[in-house]
Structure 1
Amino acid sequence: MYDALQHAGAIFFLECHYRLLKNITQNSITKLYEDKAKKNGILAWPLELKNPVSSLTHKKMFEYFHTDAENFLFLQMVKADILIIVNTDSIHKEIMLPWIQCALTQDCIFPIGAQSTGCRFDKKPQYRYSGCHSYDTSALNIVLGLKFKQDSSHYTYSGSVNYFEIVPQSKAVALLRELEQNSTTEGRLLPFES
């Protein structure tokens, strides 16, 4: 992602299991970029569960960034799966660089005791650490929180338009087979598996 950003004015990053909905046009993405991403340099989508950063981030990652989990108790976590990032000096220095440095430092990205399973969301209050660490997503959220002083409105998509769908692996494989068949033969299409 960092390399791509250095070679482009901006990047629109989607993890491989996301697809744009059929009604989403180039104009709607351009408008999203112009209206939301361009001003602050980054746009991310919130987690559906509305977890605060503190609930999915190991305390040692906060220590790595010289901050306290209490600063993130009420900051809603965003996904690292869908991002629009603009190529600016500020984004490089204050977001991408610390995010990558953390990813390359085991004590930051994978602190002792961190795990991604066994989440306990029944803990009260909800902002307490759930026992699940979100690794690169947690690092991104801390970096964003620090840069924007815990004000997620500067980088979180809050509109009502749904742009994406999640495609299960079985459907993605069927789509790939269909595309491969279309490019090599004039045979009948393979059906989608739902």
Structure 2
Amino acid sequence: MNRFDSNPPLPLYGNFGAGVKKAPAFPLSPYMVVASVCFWLFIAAFTFKGFEYFLLYKFIDDSDLEVTNCCEHLSSDPKENEQFVQNYPKGDAGPYLMRLGPERYSSSFVGTESPRELSSIPTLVTAVTTSHFWDVQGLIEQFNQRVKRLFPDAKMIVYDIGLYQSEAELLKKYGFVEVRSFQTSQYPSHVGDISSYAWRPIIIQTILEEFGSVIWISPQSRIAHATDLNQLKYRGDRHFFAWQSKEYIATIAYTNPKTFTYLNESRCCFLESGLVDMSMLVFYRTNLTWNAIMKPWLKCALNKECLIPPKARYSGCFYMRTPKTTGCHRYDQSVLSIILDRVFLFTFKLEKYVIPRIATEIEENEKHFPEQPWAWTELGFLVLMPSACLGGLYYIYQRQRGKKKAYRRR
């Protein structure tokens, strides 16, 4: 007798006789469905980014960096270099330059130059979006508690370039500084794209023309020692103060080649040039500042083809290729770095233009206002919490129900 004859036959799906199991309506569990969806989403995202990087790498061309004797138009005479940047293409910037600069009735500087010794420190100015609302609170607190004590006449202006109404109201209520709204409608449409930083040279020039001197400081920066600001009252023969990035960053690595083309500059002339640090800049209103720095900077900022050439991106590029082209672009920072190296050979004459660093970066948000707006994480928690609770209760209910069914089958 076969020992297997005593075993009952295996149930077959699809046969609906007595004692035979029915085939499940959907063979995959919900967990497998979720895992499968996540897997294919990851594959799709990975494929998209891979294709994006492939196209970026395909368009990178550094052959022009190997050209010899390409800097014939780069003169050792600052006057000739100043004339060169004055000939940068004006494009559509003409009407806006007339409004922003001192050239109201002629092509020459008609404003009053900043004195060599100021009665107080230059006006501090910054600009803030909702992403830096907590950062700027610490900067304002430092200005009110430290800077104002040493320099009672000091003034600070905060430009609203993308705050929610509630944040702007809190800034005016508790900041004790002047708050201005940046009107993008008065400028070319691309200026409204905050990520292009076209607004920064416009704001700097506006304050420079209004007060005669300006300290630009980013919202996430702090003044290391308030007493260091005292030296900015005495400009002497200087027209500006600037610093290079703490870690050297090659200009050509983070500048779109088409920006060089628009400015009629040769990239190979800037092989050793470094990007300027934008956390703090100091400018004084002089003939040279306008003609050699602000005017050419604004010319580019007000023309989209110059500041935001096609395929320009701030991040997501081949960082390992530095100091050669990485595919990234630093917009107004790139243009200012080109101008300063063209006119003043800034990278090579740092001892002439650079003083000990005044600004420092912070890593943590500082909340100083008595009232704070809702953060996105808090709003998300508030919205998702009820759904999570209901989902948890439904899961417990289904689990208990399954246990009861299993018990009844016994």
State the TM-score, normalized to the length of structure 2. 0.38
Q: Could you tell me how far apart the structure 2 residues matched to 1:69 and 1:152 are?
A: 20
Which has a greater percent of strand?
1
SS in 2 for 1:45: coil
Q: Could you tell me how far apart the structure 2 residues matched to 1:2 and 1:129 are?
A: 30
Deviations 1:99-132 (A, max 9, x none): 1111110110000121111132212xx3211111
Q: Given the alignment of the two structures, is residue 24 of structure 1 paired with residue 226 of structure 2, yes or no?
A: yes
Q: Given the alignment of the two structures, is residue 2 of structure 1 paired with residue 205 of structure 2, yes or no?
A: yes
Matches within 5 A, 1:161-180: 162-168=357-363, 170-171=365-366, 174-175=367-368, 177-178=369-370
Q: Could you tell me how far apart the structure 2 residues matched to 1:79 and 1:33 are?
A: 21
Q: Could you tell me how far apart the structure 2 residues matched to 1:155 and 1:41 are?
A: 12
SS in 2 for 1:46: coil
- More RCO (CA 8 Å, sep 6+): 1
- Could you say if the C-alpha distance between residues 95 and 40 of structure 1 is closer, same or farther in structure 2, counting changes exceeding 3 Å? same
- Could you say if the C-alpha distance between residues 110 and 145 of structure 1 is closer, same or farther in structure 2, counting changes exceeding 3 Å? same
Q: Could you tell me how far apart the structure 2 residues matched to 1:109 and 1:154 are?
A: 29
- Could you say if the C-alpha distance between residues 54 and 154 of structure 1 is closer, same or farther in structure 2, counting changes exceeding 3 Å? farther
Q: Could you tell me how far apart the structure 1 residues matched to 2:353 and 2:316 are?
A: 27
Q: Given the alignment of the two structures, is residue 94 of structure 1 paired with residue 292 of structure 2, yes or no?
A: yes
In structure 1, the residue matched to 2:271 is: 73
Q: Could you tell me how far apart the structure 2 residues matched to 1:84 and 1:47 are?
A: 15
Which has a greater percent of helix?
2
1:142 to partner: Cα distance? 1.0
Deviations 1:163-193 (A, max 9, x none): 323235731xx12x15x69xxxxxxxxxxxx
Letter matched to residue 335 of structure 2 = A
In structure 2, the residue matched to 1:188 is: none
Q: Given the alignment of the two structures, is residue 135 of structure 1 paired with residue 338 of structure 2, yes or no?
A: no
Unaligned ranges ≥5, structure 2: 1-203, 373-410
SS in 1 for 2:365: helix
- Could you say if the C-alpha distance between residues 40 and 130 of structure 1 is closer, same or farther in structure 2, counting changes exceeding 3 Å? farther
SS in 2 for 1:55: helix
In structure 1, the residue matched to 2:37 is: none
Question: Identity of counterpart residues, as a percentage?
Answer: 24
Q: 1:83 aligns with which of 281, 296, 307?
A: 281
In structure 1, the residue matched to 2:402 is: none
- Could you say if the C-alpha distance between residues 152 and 104 of structure 1 is closer, same or farther in structure 2, counting changes exceeding 3 Å? farther
Deviations 1:36-68 (A, max 9, x none): x54331111211230111111111111111111
**Higher radius of gyration, 1 or 2:** 2
Unaligned ranges ≥5, structure 1: 182-194
In structure 2, the residue matched to 1:15 is: 218
Q: Could you tell me how far apart the structure 2 residues matched to 1:33 and 1:64 are?
A: 37
- Could you say if the C-alpha distance between residues 67 and 40 of structure 1 is closer, same or farther in structure 2, counting changes exceeding 3 Å? farther
Matches within 5 A, 1:173-192: 174-175=367-368, 177-178=369-370
SS in 1 for 2:319: coil
Q: Could you tell me how far apart the structure 1 residues matched to 2:351 and 2:334 are?
A: 18
Q: Could you tell me how far apart the structure 2 residues matched to 1:38 and 1:146 are?
A: 22
1:158 to partner: Cα distance? 5.5
State the TM-score, normalized to the length of structure 1. 0.76
Q: Could you tell me how far apart the structure 1 residues matched to 2:276 and 2:236 are?
A: 18
